[in-house]
């Protein structure tokens, strides 16, 4: 199965992607996670990408396309994948279609998670991520320690791009550069809208029902 998960920053893509990929035993390909990993390792790509990520703008298409090309050539994505955070521009979507066509593959479904902007901002401001198990976590309605992961005991951190000014910029970039993909995939007959509000279990249920 080959899926694409669309949605604004904070819509719950990462949270749901982990669950969907595990349920269907397919590769979870998050360009955001891959880029953050490159930043951590201080690679050439990481150093370049970080300039954009810190400001809440998109990393240039050619760097992203190159990264995706390498992944698609890798065996682990051959049995199926879930793209989380890619494609993010019309140019990326068109190049992705061409790449897949060249491999004799196609996308089965695009799921668009939508959540009101006010809620997105609140979610991102309350997000913490575990340094050890990478679990995405929310401090909203939580009375435990804001620093220790309740799942593995690792240290929780706030993403640099989850500062208020960067969140605003990311939402602007989403409206201008990524939202047009909704129409692109609607026209291809691949898109299903899913309400991303409600409990994580409820949202997962809705996603499974459209898959």
Which residues belong to the active site? Answer: 13, 88, 127, 159, 170
Q: Which residue(s) pair with 5 in the sheet?
A: 84, 111
Strand order, beta sheet including 191-195: 27-30, 81-84, 2-7, 109-114, 191-195
Per the CB < 8 A criterion, the answer to whether 111 and 3 are in contact is yes
Q: Toward ligand AP5, which CB reaches closer, 9 or 185?
A: 9
Q: Shortest gap between Cβ of 18 and ligand AP5 (angstroms)?
A: 8
Look at residue 162 and give its three-state secondary structure: helix
Q: Which is nearer to ligand AP5, 26 or 35 (CB)?
A: 35
Q: Which residue, 11 or 111, has its beta carbon nearer to ligand AP5? A: 11
Angle at 191 between CA 167 and CA 15, to 5 degrees: 45
CA-to-CA distance for 41 and 69, rounded, in angstroms?
A: 20
* Cα dist from 187 to 110, 139, 181, 191, whole Å: 12, 38, 10, 8
Closest distance of CB 186 from ligand AP5, Å:
20
Which residues make up the interface to ligand AP5 (CB under 6 A)? 7, 9-15, 31-32, 35, 52-53, 56, 58-59, 64, 85-86, 88, 92, 123, 126-127, 136-138, 161, 170, 198-200, 203
- Minimum CB separation of residue 85 from ligand AP5 in Å reads 3
42 vs 104 by CB, closer to ligand AP5: 42
**In the complex, minimum distance from the CB of residue 103 to ligand AP5, in angstroms, rounded to a whole number:** 19
Contacts of 63 (CB under 8 A, 6+ apart): 45, 48, 49
Residue nearest to ligand AP5 (CB): 32
């Amino acid at each position: 199965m080959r899926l694409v998960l669309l949605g604004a920053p904070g819509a719950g893509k990462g949270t749901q992607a982990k669950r969907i990929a595990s349920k269907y035993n397919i590769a979870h390909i998050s360009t955001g996670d891959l880029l953050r990993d490159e930043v951590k390792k201080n690679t050439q790509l990481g150093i370049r990408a970080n300039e954009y990520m810190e400001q809440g703008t998109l990393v240039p298409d050619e760097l992203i396309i190159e990264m995706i090309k390498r992944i698609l050539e890798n065996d682990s994505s051959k049995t199926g994948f879930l793209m989380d955070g890619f494609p993010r521009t019309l140019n990326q979507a068109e190049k992705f279609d061409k790449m897949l066509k060249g491999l004799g593959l196609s996308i089965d479904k695009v799921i668009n998670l939508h959540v009101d902007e006010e809620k997105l901002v609140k979610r991102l401001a309350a997000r913490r991520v575990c340094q050890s198990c990478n679990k995405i976590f929310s401090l909203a309605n939580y009375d435990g320690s804001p620093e220790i992961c309740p799942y593995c005991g690792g240290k929780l951190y706030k993403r640099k791009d989850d500062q208020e000014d960067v969140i605003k910029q990311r939402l602007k970039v989403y409206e201008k550069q990524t939202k047009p993909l909704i129409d692109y995939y609607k026209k291809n007959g691949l898109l299903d809208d899913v309400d991303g509000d409600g409990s994580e279990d409820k949202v997962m249920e809705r996603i499974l029902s459209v898959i």
